[in-house]
A = this chain, B = another copy of it.
Amino acid sequence: MAGRRPSVKPSDAAHSPVSMADLARELGVSMTTISRALSDHHSIGPATKQAVLKLAKKLNYQPNRMASALRKGTSTLLGVIVPYIEGRFFASVVHGIETAASKAGYSIIICQSNEDVAQERKNLETLLSAQVAGILVSVSRTTLDFRHFDKVRKRGVPLVFFDRILEGDSVNAVVLNDQDGAYQATRHLLEQGCRRVAHLAGPQHLNIYRNRRQGYLDALQNQGIAPDESLIIDCDMTLEGGQASMKQLLALPNPPDGVFSAGDWAVLGALQVLKSRGVRVPQDVALAGFSNEALTMVAEPHLTSVDQRCEEMGQAAFRLFTDLAAADGTAFSQRQVVLQPQLFVRESSQRGAEVAGNK
C-alpha cells in the first residue's frame, strides 16, 4: 500500500484545527454564511453552500462541539452513572445506551459510583459541570435519599433512572418488572411439579430484590400455597452465599424440592452443593435463577433463569431522555417505563419428557 511512513518529524507539532473563521477567510465570505451552509440552514445559495461544504471537506473542518454547546447552552453529551461497569448487566445496559445515543448524535460520559453515595454525588457535580444534556443513573447501593439529585432538576437537566431506583419518589425511570419475572420463574417450578419451592432472597433494601421476593410469594398464593418462612433464606447473592443457603435448606426436616434464587451466582452455589451431596437436579430439586448470566449456559445442567433485557433497558432509558429533552422542561411529569422480563427455561428445572435446549 502506501509507502512506509517517514519517521516522525520532531517538528510535527500540534496543528491547530481549522475553524469557521478559516473557511470564511479562505472563501472571502462571512462566518454567518459558513455557519448557515454547515448547519443546513434555509436561506443560503446552493452555489455558496456547495463551495463551503467542499472547502470544509478539503480542509478537514471539524466543528468544535464545545463552542457550539457553550453558545447554545446545551451539549450533545450525555452523562451515565452506574455502580460499576464490570459485570454483564451494567455493561450491557451501557452498550444499549451508547448504541442508541451515538445514532442520535450524542456521546456518553461514563461515571462509576462504586456503590458509594459520596462518589455518586461527585459524579453528579462532574457531569453538571461538563454541561451534559441529560443524566442517566442507576443509584448506588448506599444511596438512601434523593437530595443530591435536586440540583440536577433545578438546572432543568433531564434525569432518568434505570433499574435501581429509590421508591416512593416521583422520578422518570426505566425498570424491569422484577416481580413478574420472579412470578414466572416460581410458577414454572410449580408447574414442573414442585410442591415446596424455596427462595434465596437478596438484600431487601433494594427494590429489585424486594420485588423478586414479592413475585415469588404471589406465585405461591396464586396456587393456593401458604408461604413457609423457613424456605425463604436471606442471601447476599454470591456463590458462597448460595452454597450456605442451600446447606441450610437441606438441613431442614422437610427440605424443598425446588429453589428460586434472586440471582444466578447464588443458584450456582446451590447447584454445587446439591451435586456434591448426590441430590439430582432437576429430578429431586429443580432450580431457577435470575439475570440470565453467561454462566447459566456453562453450568451442568444448564440453569433456568430470568432475562433482564439489559440492552432494551439501555435503549428505553435513552429514549426516555430524548422524550424529556423534547418536552423542554415544560412537563417534567414523572414517567415510568416497565420492561417485561423473559424466562429462559433450561435443564435445571425441566422435568418433562425431553430436555429442551438452550434457546
Q: What is A's interface to B at a CB cutoff of 8 Å?
A: 1-2, 5, 7-8, 12-15, 17, 60, 62-67, 69-70, 75, 77, 84-88, 91-92, 94-95, 98-99, 102, 107-112, 125-131, 144-147, 151, 153-156, 169-170, 268, 294-295, 298-300, 329, 332-334
Contacts and interface: CB of A to CB of B under 8 A. Distances in A.
A99 B112 contact: yes
A130 B109 CA distance: 11
A88 B85 CA distance: 10
- 10 cross-chain pairs, A with B, having the tightest CB-CB distances, nearest first: A14-B156, A91-B91, A298-B298, A15-B154, A295-B298, A66-B66, A62-B129, A66-B131, A14-B329, A66-B70
24 contacts: A2-B147, A5-B170, A8-B332, A8-B333, A12-B153, A12-B154, A14-B155, A14-B329, A60-B151, A64-B70, A65-B130, A66-B130, A67-B70, A77-B109, A84-B95, A85-B94, A85-B95, A86-B95, A87-B91, A95-B112, A102-B126, A109-B110, A110-B110, A295-B298
Of A17, A75, A110, most B-chain CB atoms within 10 Å? A110
A302 to B, nearest CB: 11
Given A70-B67, A131-B64, A12 B298 contact: no
B108 A156 contact: no
Of A12, A14, A87, A112, most B-chain CB atoms within 10 Å? A14
A99 B112 CA distance: 8
Contact of A85 (B14, B91, B298): B91
Nearest to A271: B298
A329 B16 CA distance: 12
A213 B49 CA distance: 55
Contacts of A64: 70, 129, 131
A199 to B, nearest CB: 22
B5 A169 contact: yes
Contacts of A169: 5
A287 to B, nearest CB: 14
Nearest to A169: B5
A170 to B, nearest CB: 7
Contacts of A95: 84-86, 112
Contact of A65 (B63, B131, B145, B155): B131
A173 to B, nearest CB: 15
A1 B332 contact: no
Given A17-B155, A110-B110, A294-B295, 20 more contacts: A5-B170, A12-B332, A13-B329, A14-B155, A14-B156, A15-B156, A62-B128, A64-B70, A66-B75, A66-B130, A70-B70, A85-B98, A87-B91, A98-B111, A102-B112, A102-B126, A107-B109, A107-B130, A298-B299, A300-B300
A170 B8 contact: yes
A35 B247 CA distance: 63
A311 to B, nearest CB: 9
Of A12, A128, A129, A333, most B-chain CB atoms within 10 Å? A129
Nearest to A84: B95
Contacts of A65: 129-131
A300 B5 CA distance: 50
Contacts of A69: 66
A156 B13 contact: yes
